[in-house]
Structure 1
């Protein structure tokens, strides 16, 4: 479905319930609706409704347009779920900036039906799994990506393997940082090319700080100039550049030592990539009588046992963790989970995944 946002009188007739919902939002926006109720993703708890104002959403859209050089007449591919903030804000950017929107119901490979020689888009946003699928299974679609002005990747962390694969794309690819409360992203991190960086750069006018836990707080027009406190532990390079260390609510206390699982996962994922292993992983803290919590590496694989190659890679990763972080951060056990649990927006649901593992491993 294609929407020319500058000509609402020629908008298409919806063919599916999803298209009807998407068009209903666009019409509400064009009629000047002043408040919208969206839901958080539920990746760290129960999804909850949040009311966002038109002014907040417009401010966010304009900042993104300025940061990426988007303008009227550009063509955007909308392939994120428009029931959540990431997809909704793709619609708002198109409506506010005068872009033509091609809307697709979310799928694993949003480019599968497009001709790589003919399809022309200037802008899009993916979750990491979508982009990984495109590069792994349909490399012939690469010209579509290369012709874009900017590509956003959000909703979950990008793995070392994906970041390496992104170097094949010549168009700028950015990781996003934000949440429903900040009306999508408030900072971008370049993932490919000579300008790639480990640090996010805040958009213009965004003010950042940390609380006594070292967790980021954000104040911006998109948050209605109210402070939004996160649970993300960060390190600052300066007042507008920061790096994510992990989440305060995922910290594992093992034998009295606090461990940030995301740091461990990053090391393991990088080494798995060196062994051409692309399984998703997660470090969990499971109940232990002696340690309180013991570190366990959960691996997503339909296999019923750990392969020799995976055992070798994990052994190398354990040595690397011991050297880079310390012996207390080394997962001692490996657990198999056939399928990790995800939220409706495609984010890893850590709690539900651990619960699924425990239910299958219980005697």
Structure 2
């Protein structure tokens, strides 16, 4: 753990990870004008992207304005600083003059924190879920003393949304990517103002292409149009509902299936089995072209449980095409360096 509370006198790093933090901070403080960052690799091969100092400053200022962050507030940095989410926490600290508490990424970053009044934190869903499921109730006190918490990097499950209802601190799911220099839209996931729709931050403009995929224009994108593969429904000029990814549509026997819709259907049944992570996938099939399967992060389930699960899914599915042809289990999913599920690597390990 490392505390940065004086940018004119940076602390001495005590690990390789802390060395990366200090190296970036020095480059920023010395006025470097551009930085090369890698995309997370969750939707394809990781690729390098050049971001300007101006873009990163614009993003940091917008976050500060959105969440009411003030000079000397303490922000927790527990996301990988080799990628946009962690890097932007460092940039926010330097631009907004926040104090930063640096921790290497872990499943429950609050376990190692004592007597710290943290004002702002960003988590991936697995981290927040681990905190909320901990028996240590002091962790909830730590969360509830914050101004806001944001959760990004992966979809927020309905189970996690329900767990956040015990929090008084405002919790937000974020939408963004490396190309947009972190989040450009948020939705409240707890309290009275809970919403299924994302509201874009001030100054961000959105639209759709012919596929109904979102495009984005903002100061953080250097006012260049960023075209995504995310299918959305535009609710208003500053509001949208995320439906899934265009490249997560499979064609099974001539029928198009949106994988996220399948996942939303099965989630409620998996909660009772205490299975938190899973994904739908389209496997190559000689007869159908692609067949729908369900992959669960779990020890082996017996055949009767799988049969009952498929029957439950069948009873609530809109069509028979949304019913998985097979269910596979694996004890732990492969992950990208940012903690997202690496579906292709997981499938490869299953030797299907």
Gaps of at least 5 residues in structure 1 are: none
Q: What's the secondary structure of 1:73's corresponding residue? A: coil
User: What SS does the aligned partner of 1:237 have?
Assistant: strand
Kept in 2, the 8 Å contact 1:161–1:278? The answer is no
Please give the secondary structure, in 1, of the residue aligned with 2:292: strand
Q: SS at the partner of 1:193?
A: coil
Structure 1 position 276, deviation (Å): 4.8
- Measured on the aligned residues, the alpha-carbon RMSD in Å equals 1.4
Q: Which residue of 1 aligns with 2:227?
A: 229
Q: Alpha-carbon deviation of 1:299?
A: 1.1
Partner of residue 135, structure 1: 132
1:298 aligns with 2:304: no
Aligned to 1:337: 330
CA distance, structure 2, for counterparts of residue 227 and residue 64 of structure 1: 20
Q: Is the 1:112–1:138 contact (alpha carbons within 8 Å) kept by the matching residues of 2?
A: no
* 2:311 matched residue in structure 1: 315
1:112-163 C-alpha deviation (Å, 9 max, x unpaired):
1123xx2210000000111111111244110000010010101100111111
Aligned pairs for 1:212-227 (under 5 A) are: 212-227=210-225
Q: In the TM superposition, what whole-angstrom CA distance separates every residue of 1:49-71 from its partner, at most 9, and x where no partner exists?
A: 11100000000001111111111
Q: Is the CA contact 1:277–1:310 (under 8 Å) kept in the aligned structure 2?
A: no
Residue 307 of structure 1, CA deviation:
6.5
The DSSP-based 3-state class of the residue aligned with 1:8 is: coil
Residue 27 to residue 347, structure 1, CA distance change in 2 (3 Å): same
**Residues 188 and 200 of structure 1 are in contact (CA less than 8 Å); yes or no, is this contact kept in structure 2?**
yes
8 Å CA contact 1:287, 1:293 repeated in 2: yes
TM-score, with structure 2 as normaliser? 0.96
Which residue of the other structure, out of 164, 167, 177, is the alignment partner of 1:166? 164
Q: Kindly indicate whether the alpha-carbon contact (under 8 Å) linking 1:159 and 1:270 is maintained by their aligned counterparts in 2.
A: no
The residue aligned with 1:120 is 117
* Counterpart-to-counterpart distance in 1, 2:8 and 2:81: 22
Partner in structure 1 of residue 33 of structure 2: 34
Specify which of 249, 253, 258 is matched with residue 260 of structure 1: 258
Distance 1:58 1:277, change over 3 A: same
Name the structure 1 match of 2:284: 287
Provide the rounded CA distance (Å) in 2 between the counterparts of 1:311 and 1:100: 53
Preserved contact between residue 318 and residue 331 of structure 1 (Cα < 8 Å): no
Q: Deviations over 1:270-312 (max 9, x none)?
A: 2322x25224111111122222111111111132x43645543
Is the 1:62–1:96 Cα contact (8 Å) retained in structure 2? Answer: yes
* From 345, 350, 355, the counterpart of 2:348: 355
Give the conservation status (yes or no) of the 8 Å contact 1:3–1:102: yes
Pick from 245, 248, 262 the counterpart of residue 246 of structure 2.
248
Name the structure 1 match of 2:83.
84
* 1:323-353 per-position Cα deviation (integer Å, ceiling 9, x unaligned): xx32221113211223222111111122222
Counterpart position of 2:92: 93
Aligned-partner SS, 2:56: helix
> Separation in 2 of the partners of 1:331 and 1:75?
46
Q: Which TM-score applies when normalising by structure 1?
A: 0.93
Residues of 2 paired with 1:234 and 1:272: CA distance? Answer: 26
Where 2:8 maps in the other structure, the secondary structure is helix
Provide the aligned length of Structure 1 versus Structure 2.
350
Aligned to 2:63: 64
Give the superposition deviation at 1:318: 2.8
1:16 aligns with 2:15: yes
Does residue 1:47 correspond to 2:46, yes or no?
A: yes
Please name the residue that 1:328 is paired with: 321
Shift in alpha-carbon separation, 1:265–1:139, aligned structure 2, 3 A: farther
Shift of 1:98: 1.0
Correspondence for 1:107: 106
- Aligned partners of 1:272 and 1:314 also within 8 Å: no
Structure 2 unmatched ranges of 5 or more: none
